[in-house]
Amino acid sequence: MPTHTFKSALSGIAAGIQDLSSLEVVTYKGKISIKKDATGDPPKKFDDIIKKAKSEGDFNIMACTYVAIDGDMQVFYDNDLTEIERNAHHALVDMARQNRQAIVDLFKDVIVDLAK
């Protein structure tokens, strides 16, 4: 039974590492006015809000950054992006990198503990 647990743990770690293979940060700007859904409440989850906004909102992607695991990077800035908005996007990218590093460190610690 411990072998099965170890395999399950490694499988979970592999899935997590796959998710860690890239970093994406998208900065939106605009107005999102969303109609209530069938329950009478607006959506509360970010993915649901963005999905609704794509059909009902008025917003633009101001900046987006994609960083691959090998360090390759793609960055987009809207022509009208201000210096303040650019700095805000850079701060978000830095926070995302720090969060990603914390997750990588956690996985590393889990792997070391499993190997003991």
- The conformation of residue 41, written as its DSSP 8-state character, comes to S
State how far the Cα of 83 lies from the Cα of 112, in Å rounded to an integer.
43
Q: Name the band, by pLDDT with cuts 50, 70 and 90, for residue 1.
A: very low
pLDDT in tens, 8-44: 766 766 666 666 778 899 998 888 777 776 777 777 7
Contact 73, 90 (CB under 8 A): no
pLDDT in tens, 40-61: 777 778 888 888 777 777 888 9
Whether the model pTM is above 0.75: no
> Is residue 24 classed as helix, strand or coil in its secondary structure?
strand
CA torsion 45→83→97→63, rounded to 10°? 50
Segment 97-111 mean pLDDT: 82
